[in-house]
Amino acid sequence: MLVPPPRPAPPLHVVLGDEGFRLFFPLAALYAALWPFQWVLVFGLDLPFARDTPPSLWHAHEMIFGAYGAALLGFVTTAVPEWTDTPRLRGRRLYVLAGLWGVGRLVGFLGADALGVVGALADIGWLALLAAYVAWTSWARRTDRLLAFLYWIGALLCCLVAVRYGFLVGDVAFAQWMLHCAGFVFLGLLGVALARITVPVTNQVLDPSEETSPFRPHPGRVTLAPGLVAVMIAGELLGFSAEVTGFLAIAAGAAFMDRAGEAFVGREAFRTEIMALAGSAVLAGAGLILLGAARLGAPVAGVTALHVALMGGLGMSVLMVLSIAGLLHSGRPLGFPRATRIAFALLVVALALRVLPELGAIPDLPGPLHAGAAVFWAAAFLLWLSDYWPFVSSLERP
């Protein structure tokens, strides 16, 4: 009996365009790894084409709207169809989003101020299209489940427009302020995402058969953290004093710490999946509390606190989303491979090397400033990519 030959594997561009996570998660990991590495070790905290915008602002912009932006694209375009039982974006639509995102990165990677308008229009384009996609899906399905994401994506779009305006007119202080607000908005998105992700992941860890739902968090925890982040951002925009916004930051940080309490589910709390969820909340909360303390006069630099929240909390949450969604949406069971667990450890080491010297806990390492942090950070995301690339680049399911 003749056995028919196996079907040839579809081309890579077809596979990557099959679902959002397949295309944008590798882009997020690559950009998260390469941007800090080239900024610190290749250009020595400078950028070759930055003239009017300080390289440090380009750094913040590219991490928020570049690396984290790609992760947001992948998460939303993958999760929204699942939550609403609607057809997923595929093929050309995904590549249009990726193309706009990529144009923005071509400008931002080297800090090309002369092409700032091009980069601004491209970034505004993909973020506006993402907001429109969420709004249209919410309207078409007559559901309010997406409104929280629509609110925060819309707020992120407003911040992006403000930041780019500051870049274009040379108002460095305004651009920096709006970049801080953009980081806070992403923390609000983190709070909403944790509320959506923690319950199904924890229940699957506790009962792999998924026949029961033993984990049911208090309803107040669903919106507490993002709600208090929204209050903190409102205080920032209304021009409240440093002391008032400091207390608001501490309150928002405490709410994230409260979210970490959901990790106490018995011995399964030591599973990397649960620890990553709790760790992202703890680091986001610790960073906001440190920021509040700095504004109240504690001897802590604001930039150090922001790195704890945005590099630590958001960085771990991005790696967590890449890992969990990368497994579940490629048909793999929940359970991080060993290399992924090492990647989380490398990310924590990178954060420690970035902030502990500024806190006086350890001495500065020899060599270029922040070189160790950049190396370990890049290693974390590249290790994840090498571990997950066989999953995301193939439509075959186990």
Q: Comparing C-alpha atoms, which of 24, 139, 17 is closest to residue 76?
A: 24
- Per the domain annotation, does 3 fall within a domain? no
Local structure of residue 7 (DSSP, 8 states): P
Placement of tokens 């996570």 in the chain: 21
**Residue 4 in domain:** no
CB atoms within 10 A of CB 151: 18
Instruction: Tell me the per-residue pLDDT of 124-169, one tens digit each, with 9 for 90 and over.
Output: 999 999 999 999 999 999 999 999 999 999 999 999 999 999 999 9
Helical H segments across the chain, by residue range: 12-16, 20-37, 55-61, 68-84, 92-108, 116-141, 147-169, 172-206, 221-237, 242-260, 272-295, 302-306, 315-328, 338-355, 371-392
Which residue range is the domain that position 22 belongs to?
12-203+218-392
Considering the domain boundaries, does residue 330 fall inside one?
yes
Whether 2 has a pLDDT exceeding 60, the answer reads no
Percent of the chain with pLDDT over 90: 79
Q: Is residue 79 part of a domain?
A: yes
Is the residue at 55 inside a domain?
yes
* pLDDT tens string 277-316: 999 999 999 999 999 999 999 999 999 999 999 999 999 9
C-alpha dist (Å) from residue 73 to 104, 128, 260, 284, 323 = 14, 11, 25, 21, 15
DSSP code string of 103-132 = HHHHHHTTT-GGGHHHHHHHHHHHHHHHHH
Residues of the chain with pLDDT > 70: what percent?
Answer: 98
Residue 1, domain member (yes or no): no
DSSP 215: -
CA angle 179, 137, 135 (to 5 degrees): 40
Overall number of domains in the chain = 1
Average pLDDT over residues 5-27: 87
For residue 233, being part of any structural domain is answered with: yes
118: which 2 tokens?
A: 């091009």
Q: Is residue 2 part of a domain?
A: no
157-206: per-residue pLDDT in tens?
999 999 999 999 999 999 999 999 999 999 999 999 888 888 888 888 88
- Residues 72-109 have pLDDT tens digits of 999 999 999 999 999 999 999 999 999 999 999 999 99
Residue 351 has pLDDT above 80, yes or no: yes
| pTM, 2 dp | 0.95
Rounded CA separation 168/179 (Å): 14
Give me the CATH number covering residue 325. 1.20.210.10
